[in-house]
């Protein structure tokens, strides 16, 4: 059974000094799903996020969160939202637990039991009574995640959540985020310039360019089958692949072609018959970076920031 969208961006637009920064952007975000938000420099990612959390007024369109619009039910709609922007600010002289107590008072009905629950969810039980000043960046990030979850948001926005973390911290944060999306049934929206991390973390990606949504892709959908072929001489290999009807893309010391698995044995025979030395033929999966560059025509990723 298909779930209803928890967040809808309906024809969202923003014009600044006569220039359209966000142009008729429509997007639906679903419970339990992590959606990555990507785009080249100046594409409009940060502007979109600012409008989503009410830090910037929209010029047109609407944002609907759990059935309530930002236009008519601003406070009620935003009460369903949790936000982490880069490295969360905490009171370093206070313990992690006292920080959470402080933030809990900003929301109605956050019990001490709920605080204990989120502490456990982000794996902070052993260090929560220690001062935040003693925490690593990864631990502060996990505490920020706990803080954002205190009031049981239905929509969680993360802007560069793994900035500055080492590989172990990134993996740890990713694992907790995926677990929380599933167990809390939260819709998570992640803006990041780390393509390899988005690829591992997200269920879907939305790509924005010049303020428009240019691609929305399920990360788990089947991709076209590609193979990497390495053979010598290169010019003769290229010529034969073209003659056989393959579009050969030059990669490193070989070529990437689109082909079915059943075509591989015959291709090997054709290469051998032509006197070409075959060194490797293996499945090739296009990375998210490859796909992103194809979608945006080589546009550079932005270091999105709220600063």
Per residue in 35-92, pLDDT (tens digit) is 999 887 777 888 898 898 888 899 999 999 999 998 889 888 888 998 887 667 788 9
Stretch 269-279: mean pLDDT: 92
Q: Which residues lie below 8 Å from residue 272, measured CB to CB, with a gap of 6+?
A: 278
For residues 160 and 190, is the Cβ–Cβ distance under 8 A? no
Of the candidates 89, 8, 73, 83, the one whose C-alpha atom is nearest the C-alpha of residue 46 is 83
For residues 131 and 93, is the Cβ–Cβ distance under 8 A? yes
What are the structural domains, with CATH classification, of the chain?
7-218 (3.40.50.300), 226-285 (3.30.70.120)
Length of the chain: 307
pLDDT value at position 1? Answer: 40
pLDDT value at position 217? Answer: 76
Three-state DSSP class for 269?
A: helix
d(C-alpha 18, C-alpha 7), whole Å: 28
pLDDT-derived band at 298, boundaries 50, 70, 90? low
pLDDT-derived band at 211, boundaries 50, 70, 90? confident
Residue 125 pLDDT exceeds 50: yes
Of the candidates 62, 64, 58, 53, the one whose C-alpha atom is nearest the C-alpha of residue 29 is 64
Of the candidates 216, 218, 300, 296, the one whose C-alpha atom is nearest the C-alpha of residue 9 is 216
Number of C-beta neighbours around residue 71 at 10 A: 13
């Amino acid at each position: 059974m298909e779930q209803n969208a928890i967040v809808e961006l309906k024809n969202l637009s923003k014009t600044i000094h006569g220039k359209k920064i966000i142009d008729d952007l429509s997007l639906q975000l679903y419970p339990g799903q992590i959606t990555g938000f990507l785009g080249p420099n100046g594409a409009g990612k940060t502007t979109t996020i600012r409008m989503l959390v009410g830090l910037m007024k929209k010029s047109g369109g609407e944002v609907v969160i759990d059935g309530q619009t930002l236009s008519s039910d601003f406070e009620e709609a935003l009460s369903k939202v949790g936000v982490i922007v880069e490295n969360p600010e905490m009171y370093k002289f206070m313990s992690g637990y006292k920080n959470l107590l402080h933030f809990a008072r900003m929301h109605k009905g956050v019990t001490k039991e709920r605080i204990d629950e989120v502490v456990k969810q982000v794996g902070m039980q052993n260090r929560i009574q220690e001062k935040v000043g003693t925490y690593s960046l990864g631990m502060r990030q996990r505490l920020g995640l706990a803080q954002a979850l205190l009031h049981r948001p239905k929509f969680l926005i993360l802007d560069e959540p793994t900035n500055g973390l080492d590989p172990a911290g990134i993996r740890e944060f990713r694992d907790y985020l995926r677990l929380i999306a599933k167990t809390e049934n939260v819709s998570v929206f992640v803006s990041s310039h780390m393509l390899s991390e988005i690829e591992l973390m997200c269920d879907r990606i939305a790509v924005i360019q010049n303020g428009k949504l240019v691609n929305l892709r399920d990360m788990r959908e089947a991709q076209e089958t590609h193979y990497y072929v390495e053979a010598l001489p290169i010019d003769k290999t290229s010529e034969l692949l073209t003659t056989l009807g393959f579009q050969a893309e030059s990669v490193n010391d070989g070529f990437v072609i689109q082909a079915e698995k059943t075509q591989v044995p015959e291709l090997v025979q054709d290469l051998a018959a032509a006197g070409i030395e075959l060194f490797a033929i293996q499945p090739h999966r296009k990375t998210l970076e490859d796909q992103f560059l194809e979608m945006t025509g080589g546009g550079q990723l932005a270091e999105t920031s709220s600063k």
